[in-house]
């Protein structure tokens, strides 16, 4: 039976990435050795790093005065590195989900955190719109896509202080204006590569402004100076990331990806809105994520939740169970998710409706 992978992360990657990575694991650059077995300072791996950074720049149109880093520790280590390197006194955070909250928790180790707004009281089912960012904050942090709750902010904030964004779950899915940001970061394990590497796009002149001493590995300057090769980088995830970047470019880049993502999400949201058995969890349609589609059983059908999960799983839908804090279902439909898999889920929903609609 064909499996349709709706996992939130680690999640579906292009078949191209998986095949090319498997080839490189067996025989890297015709060397007869695995990419896992060769020096990261050898010319073949240096070429991988250079090309991955160059494609990042090309696909996202990253200005010259930014660096592209590939670091260990996941997005979670960035929750700490950002305030460590950028916060002198206080920073502003928008709290739109569990990952924002985790970033806030780490920032509090380094100074005052101003939570400009929060949707926590309603289990993060909307994006707060009315808030002010203090002009004297060292930076403003937000999470563009809330993987757990299925909400997304698809705009670039235009502020006079540096804007820092966790784009773990929507990088490369839509157009962004990098010049509006100080730092864009994320774990790679959704739209880019296997787990084990975080990407950091950082404006070079942001670092070196705080007075505190920063341990070498946690200092962005170390990694900017070392071209992301200060220590041994996660070579296999970076090699895999390069394959995804090549796939993105070959498939029309971000603009094409955004268009397809809009079409894919619309297909599924239209069905959720039409089908009487289900309903979406996000309060306002404009806040709905194009990457993680959250829905629950409609009123009167709550008792059928387990049955639908079993029914859909039996038809090859993998990992559609919602996060425990939201319940119901979550279909993660990242870049590599084909329309045909979304259609397969819709077919399941319609078949279930025929059986059960009152
Ligand atoms: N931020 C967001 C939006 C996420 O979805 C995740 C993981 O799912 C993280 C941060 C944490 O990433 P990592 O596991 O790489 O630390």
The b/e string for 189-211 (b: 16+ C-beta within 10 A; e otherwise) is: bbbbbbebbbbbbbbeebbeebe
Q: Determine the distance separating the centroid of ligand 1 and the alpha carbon of 355, expressed in angstroms.
A: 38
Task: Report ipTM (2 d.p.).
Answer: 0.99
Q: Determine the distance separating the centroid of ligand 1 and the alpha carbon of 106, expressed in angstroms.
A: 14
Spacing of C-alpha 36 from chain mean position: 25
How far is it, in rounded angstroms, from Cα 179 to Cα 201?
11
Q: Determine the distance separating the centroid of ligand 1 and the alpha carbon of 204, expressed in angstroms.
A: 24
Tokens describing residue 174: 């839509």
Indicate the pLDDT class of residue 227, thresholds 50, 70 and 90.
very high
What is the pLDDT averaged over residues 45-56? 98
**For residue 148, which atom of ligand 1 is closest to its CA?**
5
pTM: 0.98
**For residue 8, which atom of ligand 1 is closest to its CA?**
8
How far is it, in rounded angstroms, from Cα 262 to Cα 269?
10
| Mean pLDDT estimate for the chain | 98
Q: Is 135 exposed, middle or buried (0-12, 13-18, 19+ CB in 10 A)?
A: exposed
How far is it, in rounded angstroms, from Cα 252 to Cα 249?
5
Could you report the per-residue pLDDT of 286-314, keeping only the tens digit for each? 999 999 999 999 999 999 999 999 999 99
Q: What is the pLDDT of residue 171?
A: 98
From 99, 170, 203, 264, the catalytic residue: 99
pLDDT at 358 over 90: no
Annotated catalytic residue 102: no
From 20, 190, 203, 264, the catalytic residue: 190
Domains and their CATH numbers in the chain? 15-250 (3.40.640.10), 253-356 (3.90.1150.10)
Q: Which residues line ligand 1 (CB under 6 A)?
A: 9, 74-76, 99, 143, 147, 166, 168-169, 187, 198
Tokens describing residue 357: 């609609």
Could you report the per-residue pLDDT of 252-293, keeping only the tens digit for each? 999 999 999 999 999 999 999 999 999 999 999 999 999 999
């Amino acid at each position: 039976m064909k499996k349709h992978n709706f996992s939130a992360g680690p999640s579906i990657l292009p078949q191209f990435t998986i095949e090319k990575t498997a080839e490189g694991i067996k025989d890297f650059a015709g060397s007869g050795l695995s990419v896992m077995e060769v020096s990261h300072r050898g010319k073949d791996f240096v070429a991988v790093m250079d090309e991955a950074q160059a494609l990042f720049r090309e696909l996202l149109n990253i200005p010259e005065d930014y660096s592209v880093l590939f670091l260990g520790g996941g997005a979670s280590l960035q929750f700490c590195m950002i305030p460590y390197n950028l916060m002198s006194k206080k920073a502003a955070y928008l709290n739109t989900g569990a990952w924002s909250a985790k970033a806030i928790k780490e920032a509090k180790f380094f100074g005052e955190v101003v939570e400009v707004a929060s949707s926590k009281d309603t289990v993060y089912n909307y994006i707060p719109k009315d808030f002010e960012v203090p002009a004297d904050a060292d930076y403003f942090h937000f999470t563009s896509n809330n993987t757990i709750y299925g909400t997304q902010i698809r705009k670039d904030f235009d502020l006079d202080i540096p804007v820092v964004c966790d784009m773990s779950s929507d990088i490369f899915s839509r157009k962004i204006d990098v010049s509006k940001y100080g730092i864009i970061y994320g774990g790679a394990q959704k739209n880019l590569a296997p787990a084990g590497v975080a990407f950091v796009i950082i404006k070079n002149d942001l670092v070196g402004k705080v007075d505190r001493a920063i341990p070498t590995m946690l200092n962005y300057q170390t990694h900017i100076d070392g071209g992301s090769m200060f220590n041994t980088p996660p070579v296999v995830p970076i090699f895999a990331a390069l394959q995804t970047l090549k796939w993105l470019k070959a498939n029309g880049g971000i603009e094409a990806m955004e268009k397809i993502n809009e079409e894919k999400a619309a297909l599924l949201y239209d069905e959720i809105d039409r089908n009487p058995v289900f309903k979406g969890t996000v309060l306002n349609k404009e806040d709905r994520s194009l990457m993680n589609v959250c829905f629950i059983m409609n009123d009167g059908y709550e008792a059928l939740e387990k049955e639908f999960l079993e029914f859909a799983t039996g038809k090859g839908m993998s990992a559609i169970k919602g996060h425990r804090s939201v319940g119901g279902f979550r279909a993660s439909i990242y870049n590599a998710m084909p329309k045909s898999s979304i259609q397969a889920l819709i077919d399941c929903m319609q078949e279930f409706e025929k059986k059960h609609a009152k």
